Structure 1
Amino acid sequence: MTLTMRLFSLLLGFCLDLLFGDPHWMPHPVRAMGALIAGLERPLRAVFPKTAKGELIAGVFLVVLTAGISTAAAVLLLWLCAQIHPWLAFAAETLLCYQLLAARSLRDESVKVYKALRDGTLDDARKAVSMIVGRDTDRLDETGVAKAAVETVAENASDGVIAPLLFLAIGGAPLGVLYKSINTMDSMVGYKNDQYLYFGRAAAKLDDVVNFIPARLAGILLCLAARPAGFDGRNAWKIFWRDRKNHKSPNSAHTEAAAAGALDVQLAGSNYYFGKLVVKPTIGDPLRPVEPADILRCNRLMYAGTFLAMVLFCGLPLVLSLTL
């Protein structure tokens, strides 16, 4: 497939995601990756010794097998489609691009939290936000629920939308699948708890590596998008440069810092995870309290940054490929 056709498939897949999100009835590659990871975990733990070193090695095998099988499946699918007809390969590439992007789903799931805060009870809102965050939600008040949703939109603007766009633009669906397999492993086993401290370390470290550049690009894009989207562009840059490293993860705070600055709110801080209080630094200044409407505002910022990313990663290369 030519570069021009691949970029057109990404553009079409991007539009499909904006229009339809992820229908739950449709088979999805990320769900398949999740099933693969879950299916590999038990036998790998059984094969290797139940020691720190044994679990580390088992985790490395999990990364190699999951990433290898997922990427090989995408390559094989596209090759088989190309043997039948080039347009079938184009359709398959478009479908994979569509399914690997999550802008609409991120918006839809976070808006459920907003609607629960607006129309339902606090328990409804806690339940809605528990679907999209990893922290304990049973102690959160209304502000805590709203802040958790805003942070999720801001963080996932990178690894759910802008980072996949970058990898899809560079290497098409196979590279996008490779990225998403690593990201899915991190979300499933990359925890620093007793169960996954060693087994999930390889996945977590690899996720840090592949997201190093995308996370910083995403933070910059959100800062650039802040003023056009109607937010505080100057403060977005200020907080981004000041607080983008206020997280144990080398990548998570970049987009959160840009969003906190753009919205003039303070995000992050200490929260409970698996019943334990985890002390974290704050991101941004509390110029005003976080409110439910900030969920909608952060989604608008996420969309604005995503459109900038699409222009940079896909639009400009597509124009150049058509004119040269």
Structure 2
Amino acid sequence: MPLRQAAAAAGIVAGYAADAWFGDPRRGHPVALFGTAAGQLERWWWADSKPRGAGYAAVCAGSVAGLGFLAERAARDRPGVRFVLTAAATWVVLGGRGLAAEGHEMARLLESGELPAARQRLSHLCARDATGLDAAELTRAATESIAENTSDAVVAPLLWGAVAGVPGLLGYRAVNTLDAMVGYRSPRHRNFGWFAARADDWINLVPARVGAVLTVLTAPLAGGHARSAWRAWRRDGSAHPSPNAGQVEAAFAGALDIRLGGTNTYHGEVERRGTLGDGRPPGARDLRGAVRLSRLVGAAALAVSAGIAMSGLRSARITVAK
């Protein structure tokens, strides 16, 4: 196995371990710095125009991916440096530990009946309007967010790192962050954010479905049901308005024997989703179960991604392209 491939695979594993052990950097998180810079650029660049929005997203994400490409190219004959770059980039873009912590904190607040605090805390997981949500709706929202973000914050960046290295890791997180910033259908971003939202859909098409498969495979380890996860995914995954979010949410619903989906409000826009799963409405215990399942899916995604990196798939693609 070439040292370059081994360094990439080892870097992905090390970055995953760093996220699991340390979580997000406490100060100066690069993703937060990127978001600040992108927000400042948006204020200057904004126009109620899809082409303007596409240019904005391309510049923001392309700049970050380009820096990753240049850094990785400079380290192409230095496996040790490549390992460090890959590990650092993987750690920066993953959010598995933070996601689990937020899930457990939401479960604690719901178990103790602290609904005002839970409504405020929900903003750490998603942009859903929590005003007036009762305990059942807060639990559903948190559980759906754990499932969706398992794909967005763990499975997808690992897979992009495996097939596209440091540029894939950084470029993926940039697009995903832009979607969170401007991808909603608010009056300001309906046109300007259209391209960022579509780009996020495109880059998550495969990872979301891989995440659903891994949910099916790991469900028994979390005390769930693989057959129910498979059935709910195949039947209900496309009932969601997003081409990707419903895939993992439906698989989680089946695995945990709960029912997700319903009516949600985002930035004043009401979104009606289909029903995902056949089980009971989720409770705080199910939210903790979703966190356990999320961790297992993340570990499985790490194994798949490290295997892809070691297999030389990326090197083979580059050779063919040449």
Instruction: Normalising by structure 1, report the TM-score.
Output: 0.90
Q: CA RMSD in A?
A: 2.1
Q: Could you tell me whether the CA contact under 8 Å between 1:110 and 1:129 is conserved in 2?
A: no
Whichever residue aligns with residue 43 of structure 2, its letter is R
Higher relative contact order by CA 8 Å / sep ≥ 6: 1 or 2?
Answer: 2
Q: Distance in 2 between matches of 1:84 and 1:3?
A: 11
Change (3 A) 1:227 1:167: same
> CA contact under 8 A between 1:165 and 1:310: conserved in structure 2?
yes
> 98, 120, 135: which one pairs with 1:127?
120
Q: Deviations over 1:121-179 (max 9, x none)?
A: 11111111122111110111111111111100100111110010101111211111111
> Is 1:37 the counterpart of 2:38 in the alignment?
yes
Match of 1:292 in 2: 284
Mark the CA change 1:197 to 1:317 in structure 2 (over 3 Å): closer, same or farther: closer
- Of 11, 14, 39, which residue of structure 1 is paired with 2:13? 11
Secondary structure of the structure 2 residue equivalent to 1:9: helix
Q: CA deviation at 1:193?
A: 1.7
Could you give the per-residue CA deviations for residues 241-263 of structure 1, whole angstroms, max 9, x where no partner exists? 00000111111100000000011
Deviation (angstroms), 1:32:
2.4
1:236 maps to 229
Query: Would you say how many aligned residue pairs link Structure 1 and Structure 2?
Result: 311
* Structure 1 position 59 matched with structure 2 position 53: yes
User: Partner letter of residue 44 of structure 1?
Assistant: W
Q: By how many angstroms is 1:79 displaced?
A: 5.3
Q: Distance in 2 between matches of 1:317 and 1:6?
A: 6
TM-score, normalised to structure 2, is: 0.90
Secondary structure, counterpart of 1:271 in structure 2: strand
Shift of 1:29: 2.5
State the distance in 1 between where 2:209 and 2:238 align: 11
Which amino acid letter does the alignment assign opposite residue 5 of structure 2?
L
The alignment status of 1:309 with 2:313, answered yes or no, reads no
Which 5+ residue runs of structure 2 have no aligned equivalent?
314-322
Aligned pair 1:205/2:207, yes or no? no
Consecutive unaligned residues in structure 1, runs of 5 or more:
none
Q: Distance in 2 between matches of 1:70 and 1:267?
A: 35
Amino acid paired to 2:297: G
Q: Percent identity?
A: 34
Distance 1:312 1:73 in 2: 26
Matched, 1:71 2:69: no
Residue-by-residue CA offset, 1:218-249 (whole Å, 9 max, x unaligned) = 11110111113210211111100000001111
TM-fit CA distance, 1:288: 2.1
User: Counterparts of 1:3 and 1:124 in 2: how far apart (Å)?
Assistant: 46
In structure 2, distance between residues paired with 1:200 and 1:83:
35
1: CA distance, partners of 2:69 / 2:33: 15
Q: Indicate if the aligned counterparts of 1:79 and 1:89 stay in contact, CA closer than 8 A.
A: no
Deviation readout 1:92-135 (Å, 9 max, x if unpaired):
32111111111111111221111212235111111111221111
Local SS of the residue matching 1:277: strand
Q: Secondary structure at the match of 1:278?
A: strand
Q: Report if the CA contact (8 A) 2:162-2:308 is conserved.
A: no
Q: Contact 1:163–1:211 (CA<8 Å) still a contact in 2?
A: yes
